[in-house]
Chain A
Amino acid sequence: MTAAAAPPTASLLEVTDLRVQFRSRRRTVHAVNGVSFAIDEGETVGLVGETGCGKSATVRAIIGLLKSPGRVTAGSVRLEGTDLVGLHPRQLRQIRGASIGFVPQNPFGALNPVLRIERQFRNVIRAHGRGRRAEIRSTALDMLDAVGIADPERVLRGYAHELSGGMAQRVVIALAMVLNPRLVVADEPTTGLDLTIQRQILDLIRDLAETEGRSMLLVTHDVGVVAQYCSRVLVMYAGQVVEAGPVRRVLTEPAHPYTEALLAAVPRRGERLVGAQGTVPTLLELPPGCFYYDRCQYRSDPRCATEAPSLREVGPGHWAAVHYDKGAGST
């Protein structure tokens, strides 16, 4: 598990050998186990994997908001060269919102229910500098307009509970992007929304990213979403990236048996993604060999049970952590 996945060029975000544990008195959950990847300027990267595989934990570790008792135990998260792991909380706070925007899953949970939307904009903007009320107001209006809200004036005056689900998520996106962050991290931003609205929101996020040349990390269960909105994809399993590469290649020629199973089991939109057979290891005790061993149909290689496979390049920009090579038989 080294930084093998990181391309040599300097990227906007470089995650190297990230490890996250939830440690309580009784047990330790190894939620993220050595994740490495990079995101370039202007690139949209998808992160897929079945439920509980550590997607959210990875995302929270990047923005430094792991919920207790979660902790980053190793690795680094470099944003434009600065390591965010172990950064002073005050500096980290400056980066959140300004350099990294975060779009969460549930917009109603995210918005403050008792503050007017305008006030929430003011708080976010003032958290990163000064600003006069009128200026902030016009910035907020522009932003709301940009996320496609028809009557920004009224929304600004109102409260969260007066919005529909799609509107609320637009407002959340506006708040996350109002300071023009270079990187936007979205953790399943459309779960719980109507199908048509899901599409609108994803289109919106993509447009906002494209026009400003922003980078995106898009967490999703939906391989279809990845195919349509991302340029590269990371496939996670049991806290590890098992395959990474250009979307088209990974989806058409998956190199990892897990990815293959994932594609075979493509769920209908909005459904939780569950692998074809068997379940994810508990993440309480990590097996010595490949984490996918129990469920793998190709586990012929003797190393599968004993030696953890590391990411290796199986094609141009295409990496997979597997001992078995479908193209050439066992390596």
Chain B
Amino acid sequence: MRYRTGAIAKRLLFIPVAVFIVITLAFGLVNLTPGDPALVIAGDLASDEHVAEIRAELGTDKPLPQRYAAYVRELFTERSLGTSFFTKRPIWDEITQRFPDTLELVVLGLLGAVLYGSLLGTLSSYFRRRWPDTLSRTSVTITQSIPDFFMGLLLIYVIFYIIGWAPAPVGRIGLLDRPPDRVTGAVILDTLIARDWGLLKTAFHHAMLPVVTLALFYSSHFAKTSRAVLSRALNSDQVEFARACGLSELRVVGYAFREARTPVVTYIGILFAALFGGAAIVETVFAWGGLGQWAIDAMLKLDVPAIQGFILVVGLLTLLVYLLLDLIVVALDPRVSYE
């Protein structure tokens, strides 16, 4: 125990360094990459004065160290990520407004991916080399080879256009529906809070396709990990002894599952962090209106402060998720102790 707390303290001490690195990365992305964003924003036909103006507004006219200092100072003293080049709204507001939507999508999508993937992996390993294994491996081969945005389009065509089970793939609720009062900012949660069951149904309905898209695409990670880990676990001495003690097959699979728990949780954490940006394409396909879609818009418009702010926030979020992940992994597995 003592080792663990020590190591966790060490990890916490490392956080400021990591934060510093993320800030530098976000800064460097804009300021160290070749090319002049001002030129791109202004377009080919812009006058020199106009370009200079944009440079001044972006701050890219000043020398590098000065810019860096200004960036960091603004971050810490004013706690500001700057304002959008186009809307002039504070980036922080733009991000916090959209964050809950993305969070909802990512959580539901990952949940689906974990459930479906683990189911596949379990079937595969338990019925190794029999038909359920073949079936599940075929599913993995297919879903991991279809890019998520194309999968989304296929689902739209089949489930919305042909069968008609899903609503039009635009937004979180119907165009004419009145959104729920904003409490958490997450539509599904807010409809729950407002006890608006009709709207809740609509919201779930709209969430169906994007969630299934994410779930299918990312399920392959869980299917492959759980298959590998479970296959080994089901052949382990531990499972043999459990069987020799007369435990039921369900229990035995449960024992094996605990072996898979740590890697599965680790994958959940890694994908959770990655999906805040990674879900951007799917958000775009379904006009979800979350953080990712906003960031892609910013990239298309070259809204430099917005891109910078997004990278910074996603980077910090990732740090946070990984820290939590470490804590969870330690809590889950009594064997993991820091050396």
Q: Is A95 an interface residue (CB 8 A)?
A: yes
Q: Which interface residue of B235, B237, B251 has the most chain A CB atoms within 10 A?
A: B237
Known: A67-B235, A109-B237, A113-B335. A93 touches B248 (CB 8 A): yes
Distance in Å from the Cβ of A129 to the closest Cβ of chain B?
11
Q: Which of A68, A124, A128, A172 has the most CB of B within 10 A?
A: A124
Give the Cβ gap from A306 to chain B, nearest Cβ, in Å: 40
Judging by beta carbons under 8 Å apart, are A111 and B241 in contact? yes
Judge if B182 is at the interface, Cβ distance under 8 Å. Answer: no
Pick the residue among A104, A123, A128 that contacts B244 (CB under 8 A): A104
B134 near A: Cβ within 8 Å?
A: no
A115 at the A/B interface (Cβ < 8 Å)? yes
Taking a contact as CB atoms under 8 Å apart, the answer to whether A104 and B243 are in contact is no
Partner of A124, one of B235, B236, B247: B247
Which of B128, B242, B246, B332 is most buried by chain A, counting CB atoms within 10 A of its CB? B246
Query: Given A95-B246, A96-B246, does the pair A112, B334 have CB atoms closer than 8 Å?
Result: no
**Interface range for B:** 20 to 34
A102-B245, A110-B237 are contacts. A127–B251 as well, Cβ < 8 Å? yes
**A65 contacts which of B128, B243, B248, B259 (Cβ < 8 Å)?**
B243
Nearest residue, chain A, Cβ from B258? A114
Total number of A residues with any Cβ neighbor in B under 8 Å: 33
* Chain B residues within 8 Å of A94, by CB: 246
Contacts of B248 on A, CB cut-off 8 Å? 93, 127
Q: Using A68-B128, A127-B251, A161-B334 as known contacts, say yes or no to A104 and B246 having CB atoms under 8 A apart.
A: no
Q: A82-111: which have CB < 8 Å to B? A: 89, 93-98, 101-102, 104-106, 109-111
How far is B242's CA from A63's CA once the two chains are assembled, in angstroms? Answer: 12
Name the distance in Å between B246's Cβ and chain A's nearest Cβ: 3
In contact, A159 and B237 (Cβ under 8 angstroms): no
Name the residue on B nearest A178 (C-beta): B245
Within the assembled complex, what's the spacing in Å between the Cα atoms of A89 and B248? 10
| Top-8 shortest CB links A-B | A97-B246, A109-B237, A102-B244, A110-B241, A97-B245, A96-B246, A124-B245, A159-B334
Give CA–CA (A112, B258) in the complex, Å: 9
A162 to chain B, nearest CB (A): 8
Q: Please, how many angstroms separate the alpha-carbon atoms of A67 and B241 in the complex?
A: 12
Q: Which of B238, B242, B251 contacts A113 (CB 8 A)?
A: B238
**9 more CB-based (< 8 A) A-B contacts, given A96-B244, A102-B241:** A67-B235, A93-B243, A93-B249, A101-B244, A104-B240, A105-B237, A113-B334, A123-B242, A123-B245
Q: Is the CB of A109 within 8 A of B238?
A: yes
**Please, which residues of chain B bring their CB within 8 A of the CB of A109?**
236-238, 241
Residues of B within 8 A of A96 (CB): 243-246
Beta-carbon contact of B238 and A110 below 8 Å: yes
**In this complex, which of B238, B240, B245, B332 has the most chain A Cβ atoms within 10 angstroms of its Cβ?**
B245
State whether A172 and B241 are in contact (beta carbons under 8 Å apart), knowing that A115-B258, A127-B248 are contacts in the complex.
yes
Q: With CB as the reference atom, state the residue of chain A lying closest to B236.
A: A109
Nearest-neighbour CB distance to chain B for A144, whole angstroms, equals 16
How far, in whole Å, are A111 and B255 apart by their CA atoms in the complex?
10
A127 close to B245 (CB less than 8 A): yes
Chain B neighbourhood of A161, CB < 8 A: 334-335
CB distance from B265 to the nearest CB of A (A): 12
Interface assignment of B61: CB less than 8 Å from any CB of chain A: no
Q: What residues on B are CB-neighbors of A140 within 8 Å?
A: none
What residues of B have a CB within 8 angstroms of the CB of A102 in the complex?
241, 244-245
| Bitwise interface map of A from 54 to 89 toward B, beta carbon under 8 Å scored 1, else 0 | 000000000101011000000000000000000001
Nearest chain-B residue to A116 (Cβ)? B334
Q: What is the 8 Å Cβ interface bit string for chain B, positions 246-274, against chain A (1 contact, 0 not)? A: 11110100010011010000000000000
